[in-house]
Amino acid sequence: MMGARPIALSCAMIIEEGFDIEILEKIVASMDEALGECGAAIVTGDTKVLERGGAIDGIAINTAGGVGVAENPVRDCGLLPGDVIIVSGTIGDHGMAIMTHREGFDLGEQIQSDVAPLWPLVEAALLAGDIHAMKDPTRGGFSNAINEMAEKSGVQVRITEDALPIRRSVRSASELLGINPPLDVANEGKVVMGVAPDDAAAILAAIRSFPQGRDAAIIGVVKEGTSVILETPIGGERFIEAPVGDPVPRVC
């Protein structure tokens, strides 16, 4: 999210005694595939095994120590009045997939996590135009990300409610769970950008050229002032505030 080409990272695994080796092989193969997509590698790490039925249920995986190279680093505090806000895809997918599973709702394939490596998409966007600010809407979801960006930049952000890309299944599940709209719910494969207005169309086209960016949308603009304001379809306005706590127990 700082515009750096990823090179290397570390990985540590804490594994419960007796953990299924086939599942472990599947996890490692998936990690290798994701690393290949963004041209990075795991260069160091560690493994610990804990007794069955102890302090861990199955497996815990931690990645840290990421190293990347950025020609022009992008921060989350660079929004300027006039900028256009772009989100790279639908909102709330990952968090809602986790929440419905934990609450025991079997929704089949209707809701899936959006977890994905983002560097190829971000690289294309950087080449397409001027990106002033960028942030991943993970913990605290879109609400938290856009509020942090606005506060750090000292600007007001106005979001058009009708422009927010939210899957019907995610919206329905959020209503079922009492979270509506799902702006406070984590994403793991999306990015929020503030871009120069003259470059917005080119950057949006670049993002949409990737499968994980096909639902990307322009959702708002940056103004002078403070706070984040949602403009409703009937002409009303309300604040989008950073959530207090996180509806999804921390898994990352």
Q: How many CA atoms lie within 13 A of 119 on its CB side?
A: 14
Domain with 27 in it: 5-69
Cα 196 off chain centre by: 21
Last residue of a domain, one of 17, 43, 69: 69
Taking each continuous run of H as one helix and of E as one strand, the counts in the chain are: 6, 10
**What was the pLDDT predicted at 172?**
85
**What was the pLDDT predicted at 252?**
56
**What was the pLDDT predicted at 111?**
85
Q: Residue 249: pLDDT above 80?
A: no
Residues 45 and 99 in one domain: no
Structure tokens at 58: 């199955």
Alpha carbons 74 and 90: distance in angstroms, whole number: 23
Digit-coded pLDDT (tens) for 18-66: 999 999 999 999 999 989 988 899 999 999 999 988 788 899 998 886 8
Alpha carbons 38 and 175: distance in angstroms, whole number: 35
Residues 59 and 133 in one domain: no
Q: Residue 124: pLDDT above 70?
A: yes
CATH number at residue 23: 3.30.1330.10
Alpha carbons 95 and 170: distance in angstroms, whole number: 10
Q: Residue 79: pLDDT above 90?
A: yes
Residues 188 and 138 in one domain: yes
Residues 220 and 139 in one domain: yes
In a domain, 249, yes or no: no
| Average pLDDT of the segment spanning 212-233 | 96
Averaged pLDDT of the chain: 91
Alpha carbons 174 and 100: distance in angstroms, whole number: 9
Domain count, the chain: 2
SS3 128: helix
**What was the pLDDT predicted at 211?**
93
In a domain, 181, yes or no: yes
**What was the pLDDT predicted at 71?**
87
Digit-coded pLDDT (tens) for 80-98: 999 999 999 999 999 888 8
